[in-house]
Amino acid sequence: MITAKLISHPLVFKAPAGTSRGILKTKPTWFLILKHSLTGKVGIGECSIIPKLSIDDKPEIEEQLKQMVDLINKGQVPKVSDYKEWPAIQFALETALNDMAYEDHFSPYPGDFSSGKKTIYINGLIWMGDVEFMHRQIQEKLDEGFNCIKIKIGAIDFESELRLLKSIRDRFSAEQIEIRVDANGAFSYDDALSKLEQLAKFDIHSIEQPIASGQWKEMAVLCVKSPIPIALDEELIGVIDPGDKIQMLQFIQPQYIILKPSLIGGIAASEEWISIAEKNGIRWWATSALESNIGLNAIAQWVSSKKTDMPQGLGTGKLFTNNIDSPLDIRNGALEYNSKINWDTSMLKQ
DSSP letter, residue 320? B
Rg (CA), the chain: 20
DSSP letter, residue 323? P
Q: 27 an active-site residue?
A: no
DSSP string of 22-37, one letter each residue: EEEEEE-EEEEEEEET
Regarding beta strands 178-182 and 204-208, do their DSSP bridges make them parallel or antiparallel, or are they unpaired? Answer: parallel
Find the catalytic residue in 152, 217, 306, 349. Answer: 152
Instruction: Provide φ and ψ at 313, rounded to 5°.
Output: -100, 70
Helix (H, G, I), strand (E, B) or coil at 151: strand
* Dist CA 142 CA 145 (whole Å): 5
Regarding beta strands 29-36 and 22-27, do their DSSP bridges make them parallel or antiparallel, or are they unpaired? Answer: unpaired
Beta bridge pairs of residue 8: 30
Q: Which helix (H) or strand (E) holds 141?
A: helix 131-143
The per-residue b/e assignment along 320-347, b for 16 or more CB within 10 angstroms, e otherwise, is: beebbebbbebeebbbbbeeeeebeeeb
* Dist CA 298 CA 32 (whole Å): 13
Query: Where would I find the H helices in 43-114?
Result: 61-73, 87-100
* Dist CA 163 CA 209 (whole Å): 21
* Dist CA 14 CA 320 (whole Å): 5
Helix (H, G, I), strand (E, B) or coil at 283: strand
Q: 152 an active-site residue?
A: yes
Which residues are catalytically annotated?
152, 260
